[in-house]
Structure 1
Amino acid sequence: MLLLIIAVESVIPKQRAGEFFNPMLNEQQKLAVKRILSGECRPTPYILFGPPGTGKTLTVIEAILQIHYTLPDSRILVCAPSNAATDMICLRLHQSHLLKPGAMVRVNATFRSAEHIDDMVKPYCRDGEDIQKALWFRIIITTCSSAGMFYRPEVRLGHFTHVILDEAGQASEPESLIPIGLISEANGQIILVGDPKQLGPVIKSKIAVAFGLSVSLLERLTSREMYLRDEDAFGTCGAYNPLLITKLVKNYRSHSALLALPSKLFYHKELEVCADPSVVTSLLHWRKLPRKGFPLIFHGVRGSETRESSSPSWFNPTEAVQVMQYCCHLAKNESAVVSVTDIGVITPYRKQVEKIRFLLTSIDLADIKVGTVEEFQGQEYMVIILSTVRSYESLLDDDRYCLGFVSDPKRFNVAITRAKALLIVVGNPHVLVRDPCFCALLQYSLINKAYVGCDLPSELECLQKHD
C-alpha cells in the first residue's frame, strides 16, 4: 500500500512558483500563461490570438495545468465548438502525464458513438456520463453545445472559476455564450483562444448571416476599441493591451517563403520563422520546382468546371488530373521524397474532393488526405496541394459567381498556411486574378519565378518578365 501511494505521488509535479511545466515555451507564450494566471483582466475576457503554427495549443495546455496546480480552488471548464478540437485538448493533457487520476473528465453528448472517440480519451469519458458525478472533477472538457447540460437546478450558479474556449473563432456567438454563462460572476475568468483571421463559424441560414451570426464572439471582440492596437500620431500600429490580449508570432511550422505572404496579408508582417530548418528545407531541391530553393509552385490550368445533375458542388477534371500527377511525382517515383501521410490535398468543393480521391485510389495513393478547407484547419503537412476548381471565364464581371467559396480571405489563409516545406497551387489565373488574395499569391509566385503552366492574364504578363 505504501509503495502504491509513493507511485501515485511521483506523478504530481514538484513545481516552484514561477516555473513552467513546459520549459520550451517562448516569451509570448509564457506571458500569456502569466496573464491568464493573474486574472488581472477580470471580468473582461482575455484573448490568446494564435496565428497558424504559433503553438496556441501548447499555451492552452500550460495554462490549464498552471491554473489547476497554482489555484487549488479553481474549477476549469474547457470547451471547443467541435468534438475533434475538444478531444485534442483532453489527449494533450493526458500526454502531459502531469494530472493525477480523478482530475479531469470528458463530457460527451449522449448521442455520440464511442467508436468515434480516441482510445486514450475514452477512460476520461466514463464519469462524464453522469453530470452530477462530472462536477466532482476540477477540469471538465466538453463541446460548447454540450456545456448546456450543466444548466441544471442542482448545479450551483457560477460553479466554474475559469472558462477556456479553444478554437473560439469557429464558434458562433450564441454557441460561445453557453459555456460562458456558467462562469462565476464574482471572480470568474473567461479565456478566448483562436485566430479571427482563420475560418469563422459555419452558418447555413442566410437570415442568420444577415443578422451577424457568422461573426464569432472572438472576432467581434477583437474589433472593439479596447482590444485594438495603440496607434501613434502617424497612424502606425503599436502594441496590444497586454492585460487583455496576447498575440503569438513565432511560427514553428513553415518555410520562410511560405510564411511571407500570409504574414503580410493577415498579420502585419509580424510572423517570425522558427520552424526546424531540417524539416522546412527538405524539399528545396525537388526536381519539379520552377525555382530551386523556393518551395512554392503556382500551376496555371485553364480547365473546365462542371457539375453533375444530382449535385450542386463543382469539380474540375483537368485540375484533378494535375493534382494526381503531382502526388505521383512526390510519392510514387523511385526517388520519392515524401510519404503519402505527409501530403494533404485541399479543395473548396466536396465533388472535387470525391474526384481526386477516386483518382488517387486508382494509383494506390488512397492514404493521401483529401478534404475541404474546413477539414484542414488546425492541421499541418509537409506538402499541401490546393486545387481551386473555379474556371468559368465567361462571366468575369460577376466575381461572386465565378469564384464562389474561393473568394474568402479566411479560407485562403487556412489553405496556404498548412504546408511546412512545399505548397502547390493549381488554378486558373484568369479567374483567380479577380480575387485580391489569389492575385497577391499570383504576383508573389511570378516575382519569385515560381509560376508554371498556362498563359497569364494581361494584367500579370509584365510580372512574368520581372528580373
Structure 2
Amino acid sequence: NDIVDEAIKGEYELRKKYEESLFGIIFNNLEQANPVRRITLSNQFRMHPVIGNFISKTYYNGIISSDLVKIESKQHGLQLPWAKGKVAVFCDVPRSCGSEYRGGKSKERRAEAERIVKLLDDLQKDPAFDHLNVGIITFYSKQVELICEVASGRGYTELDGNGSYVIKPQYQMTPDGREKLRIGSVDSFQGKEFDIVILSTVRSNNFKRIDENNLKVFGFLTLGNRLNVAFSRAQKLVITVGDRNMFSDEFAETYVKGLYEFNKLTEGEYGNRIQ
C-alpha cells in the first residue's frame, strides 16, 4: 500500500530531523563556536560494565570504557531464576502470539503489552525489587497506551480526571525517593536512569526483508540514536521484549544493529532468553 508506505516514510523523516536537531545540530554548532570544548567522554560510571561495553561497541566504536565501574554497585540482586546474575535478557514473544497492529498513525502489539505486565508481576515477587526502579520504554505512542491499559488491570496504573493513565501512588516512589515506575516513549526517558529497563520493540511482521523495505519492516527501530537512548537508560538490567526472529539475521544486523547485537549478547554468560 503506497499510502501507508509514504506515511511510514514521512514519520521516519520527521523523527530523523528531530533526532538530528537534538544530537547533531547542537553538537556541530558547539564545535564551530569552540572546537576545544567539544569532548567525547572516554569513561562511563552509570551502567553495569556489560551494558556499558555493549553500548560502547555498538554505538561508539568501542571508545567508551567501563573499566572504572564498581560492579557491586550495579548488581540488581534479583533471585528470580531467569534474572539471577543476568544483565541482558531477551523475552521472546514470537509472531504466533500475535503480530503488530497499526492503530491510526502508530503501532501496537498486545501480546508484548501483556507479557511486559507479567514481567512486572514476576519482579514484584522478588524482595530485591522493593529497592529497584523500572522504566518501560517503547517507540510507539499506541504501545505506551496499551501497556498502561493492560497494567491498569493489574493495579499498576489508573485513569486520572483527564482520562490519562498515571502510575498508582504505591508504585510512584522507591524507599529512597526515586521514581519507581515509568511507562513512556523513548523521548520521555531522555536524561533519566532506571535500575531496570524493559524495552518493547513492537515490530513483528512478515514484510519482505529487502533493502527498500527496511522502514516497513522496522520503522522507528532503525533510528540508532533512539535505540541507544533506550538501552543506555538502564543501570543494572535490560529486558528486551519482542519477536526475537525479527532481530537475528543479516538484514537486522544492517538496519537495527543495536537489537541484533543485544540478541547476541543474551547468548553469553550475563545473558538469558525466556518466553
Q: Which runs of 5+ in 1 are unaligned?
A: 1-203, 229-240, 455-467
2:92 — aligned with what? 300
Measured in 2, the distance between the counterparts of 1:284 and 1:298 equals: 16
* 1:443 has 2:264 as partner: yes
Residues 1:382 and 2:175 are matched in the alignment: no
Write the deviation string for residues 216-255 of structure 1: whole angstroms up to 9, x where unpaired. Answer: 386258679x969xxxxxxxxxxxx983422223323111
Judged with a 3 Å threshold, the aligned counterparts in structure 2 of structure 1 residues 438 and 243 are, in CA distance, closer, same or farther, namely same
Paired residue for 2:38, among 240, 245, 257? 245
Residue 393 (str. 1) matches residue 214 (str. 2): no
| Cα 1:215/1:285, change in 2 over 3 Å | same
Say if 1:387 and 1:426, in contact at 8 Å, map to a contact too.
yes
Question: Given that residues 403 and 432 in structure 1 are in contact (C-alpha distance below 8 angstroms), is that contact kept between their aligned partners in structure 2?
Answer: no
Equivalent residue number for residue 452 of structure 1: 273
Which residue identity does 1:294 align to in structure 2? K
Distance 1:263 1:216, change over 3 A: same
Matches within 5 A, 1:9-158: none
Distance in 2, matches of 1:384 and 1:424, equals 6
With CA pairs under 8 Å and 6+ residues apart, which has the higher RCO, 1 or 2? 2
Structure 1 residues 208 and 321 mapped into 2: Cα distance closer, same or farther (>3 Å)? closer
> Contact 2:266–2:273 at 8 Å: present in 1 too?
no
Q: TM-score, normalised by structure 2?
A: 0.72
Q: 1:356 aligns with which of 147, 152, 161?
A: 147
Q: CA deviation at 1:356?
A: 0.8
| Shift in CA distance, 298/213, structure 1 to aligned 2, threshold 3 Å | closer
Q: Could you tell me how far apart the structure 2 residues matched to 1:450 and 1:255 are?
A: 13
Indicate the SS of the match to 1:421.
strand
- TM-fit CA distance, 1:206: 8.6
Alpha-carbon offset, residue 209 of structure 1: 8.4
- Measured at CA, do residues 258 and 449 of structure 1 come closer, stay the same or move farther in structure 2, by a change above 3 Å? closer
Whichever structure has more helix as a proportion of its residues is 2
Q: CA deviation at 1:266?
A: 2.0
- What's the CA shift for 1:343? 0.9
- Which residue does the alignment assign to 2:236? 421
State the secondary structure of the residue aligned to 1:268: coil
Structure 1 residue 341 displacement after superposition: 7.2
Q: For 1:393, what is the secondary structure of its paired residue?
A: coil
Q: Deviations over 1:16-62 (max 9, x none)?
A: xxxxxxxxxxxxxxxxxxxxxxxxxxxxxxxxxxxxxxxxxxxxxxx
CA distance in 1, matches of 2:101, 2:45: 39
Quick check: 1:320 aligned with 2:141?
A: no
CA contact (8 A) 1:395 1:401 kept: no
1:347 aligned to which of 114, 138, 141:
138
Q: Percent identity?
A: 24
User: How far apart are residue 440 of structure 1 and its match?
Assistant: 1.5
**Cα distance between partner residues in 2 of 1:404 and 1:206:** 7
CA distance in 1, matches of 2:20, 2:65: 28
Residue 175 (structure 2) aligns with: none
Aligned to 1:287: 81
Aligned equivalents of 1:376 and 1:365: distance in 2?
Answer: 19
How big is each residue's C-alpha offset from its partner over 1:345-366, in whole Å with a ceiling of 9 and x where there is no partner? Answer: 0011111111111122221222
Equivalent position of 2:160 in the other structure: none
Cα distance in 2 for residues equivalent to 1:369 and 1:362:
16
Instruction: State how many pairs are aligned.
Output: 231
Pair 1:287–1:307, CA change in 2 (3 A): same
Hey, what does 1:216 align to over in structure 2?
21
d(CA) in 1 for partners of 2:215 and 2:82?
Answer: 33
Residue 42 of structure 2 contacts residue 64 of structure 2 at CA under 8 Å; is this kept in 1?
yes
| Cα distance between partner residues in 2 of 1:447 and 1:257 | 10
Q: In the superposition, relative to structure 1, how do residues 307 and 275 fare at CA in structure 2: closer, same or farther (>3 Å)?
A: same
The CA RMSD measured in Å over matched residues stands at 3.2
The answer to whether the 8 Å contact 1:396/1:431 transfers is no
- Summarize the Cα distance change of 1:213–1:390 in structure 2 as closer, same or farther, 3 Å threshold: closer
Distance in 1, matches of 2:153 and 2:36, equals 55
Amino acid at match of 2:231: I
Alpha carbons 2:137, 2:197 under 8 Å: kept: yes
Pairing partner for 1:270 from 63, 84, 93: 63
Alpha-carbon distance in 2 for matches of 1:449, 1:287: 13
Name the SS of the counterpart of 2:151 in structure 1: helix
Q: CA separation in 2, counterparts of 1:395 and 1:340? A: 45
In 2, distance between residues paired with 1:437 and 1:319? 19
